[in-house]
A and B are shown apart, each in its own frame.
Chain A
Amino acid sequence: MTLIATAPPRVVDRRSARAFVDTHVVPYADDYDRSGRVPEDLLRQVAAAGLWAPFLPPESGGAGMDLVTLGEVHEEVGRGCSSLRSLLTVHTMVAWTVQRWGTPAQRERWAPALAAGDALGAFCLSEPGAGSDTAGITTTAAARGDGWVLNGVKKWTTGGQRADLFLVFARTATSIGAFLVPREAPGVEVRPIDDMLGTRASMLAEISFRDVALGPDALLGPSGFTAGMVLTGTLDLGRYSVAAGSVGIVQACLEASAAYAAERRVGGKALAELPLIQAKLSDMVTDARAARLLLAEAGRLKDAGESGTLMATWIAKYFASTAAVRHAAEAVQIHGANGCSPDYPVARLYRDAKVMEIIEGSNEIQRITIAGQAERETTS
């Protein structure tokens, strides 16, 4: 057996993910944020580390990583850079969906490329007039011959500037269907969206589909009422990854704030000795741990195939994203004017955290969903 000495170590668990992120991501995340993109070099390193879709089974090019571990890995990536984690999230959604709902032919065509990072995936749901309210989707897929013709505009597509394969949700005659659309298909046009509030390096795009002709193999999963299930399942995994990334933001806020408070002195005392600062740090510690446990529970239920994972994931994402916003604001506060400057990462964490409350189902949708379940289960 030949070992290539220079090959970077594979990411197989939290520890190796942490090492990867501390080496390749943390020192550069503010640069990515400023330049508005994750560089190709990092995308290649992510591929070399086996990070794109390690949850795929080995026969599809993955490592068969369980979802509890995947959550830990995405937390670590989110601790370093929410933009990179966002790219990982949408790619994860596409790769998982191909594996879960794809035909053998679809899996064979796409899964190995997605696992290797040779084809980057992006998830196209939101439109100029429809976000968390998916009932408002106007993109259409019309049956023509034995294939489909796609028309519409998708907006806020994370990774859209870079992705090779789009998972597009479109209205069919009977329901919302999921379609695999290669970037090079004629009629696909990608327009970058820059200068967002947060996750500024996640390479968002608006994507137009103008009479895009697709074969019968473009439809992923069932048609009819159950097609909505593909969307539900895909969003569930995306939500899980965003929850993980939000835990990572809280952890990053904690680490930055604790380090700053230990060093910075005011009136002859370290900030860390002031009770009001201690209160903020203690809340960060507690919420990081609570959010991590909620995430782990959602992951455990996923690995067990338990349907309870869907609600557990909603709750984990709701808790973690709101905690991230709260603690990122406090992290900036602890840093004072330095926190508002480009010299510390907390300003980026603050902006990135806000995005977490909006994507993969806004907080308002989350609260409606969580409350809906409570109401159903307690009304008698």
Chain B
Amino acid sequence: MSNTAKEQILDFVRGRYPQAEIDETQDIFALGFVNSLFAMELVMFVEKTFGVTIPNEELKIDNFRTANAMAELVARLSPTLAVA
């Protein structure tokens, strides 16, 4: 898994919620941060940043709960990026 991807995702989430201390394993849904606007922003951020298109079948809550999960999703969608 790419640390870079994970860090970029964490930066994005922290940028939107600067008052919260969020780490890579925290479930941002359980923390109550995610509304539909932010969920869409997350998807757009991941697609834009990593140059991937997330297929419908990967649009599952478990892929977006934590920065770790999102980084793993990116790695699955873009294996070459993950090793870079």
> Which residues on A are within 8 Å of B, measured CB to CB?
101, 103, 221-222, 224-226, 228-229, 231-233, 236, 304-311, 369, 376-377, 379-380
Contact = CB atoms under 8 A, between A and B. Distances in A.
Contacts of A379: 18-19
A232 B16 contact: no
Contacts of A369: 37
Nearest to B20: A376
Contacts of A231: 36
B83 interface: no
Contacts of A376: 16-19
A306 B44 contact: yes
B18 A380 contact: yes
Contact of A307 (B18, B29, B45, B64): B45
14 contacts: A101-B56, A222-B60, A224-B59, A225-B39, A225-B60, A226-B39, A226-B64, A229-B59, A232-B36, A233-B40, A309-B44, A369-B37, A376-B19, A380-B18
A226 B59 contact: yes
Interface string B14-35: 0011110000000001000000
B61 interface: yes
Interface size class of B (residues with CB under 8 A): 20 to 34
Contacts of A304: 48
B56 A222 contact: yes
B42 interface: yes
Contacts of A307: 40-42, 44-45, 48
Nearest to A219: B56
A365 to B, nearest CB: 11
B61 A377 contact: no
Nearest to A308: B41
A147 B36 CA distance: 26
A311 B44 CA distance: 13
Interface in B44-69: 44-45, 47-48, 56-57, 59-61, 64
B12 to A, nearest CB: 8
B43 interface: yes
Contact of B36 (A103, A228, A305, A311): A228
A305 B47 contact: yes
Among A101, A226, A304, the most chain B Cβ lie within 10 Å of the Cβ of: A226
Contacts of B56: 101, 103, 221-222
B61 A224 contact: yes
A228 B57 CA distance: 14
A134 B64 CA distance: 23
A212 B1 CA distance: 46
A236 B40 contact: yes
A236 B56 CA distance: 19
A309 B48 CA distance: 12
Contacts of A222: 56-57, 59-60
Contacts of B42: 307
B45 to A, nearest CB: 5
B31 to A, nearest CB: 12
Contact of B39 (A228, A236, A305, A377): A228
Contacts of A225: 29, 39, 60-61
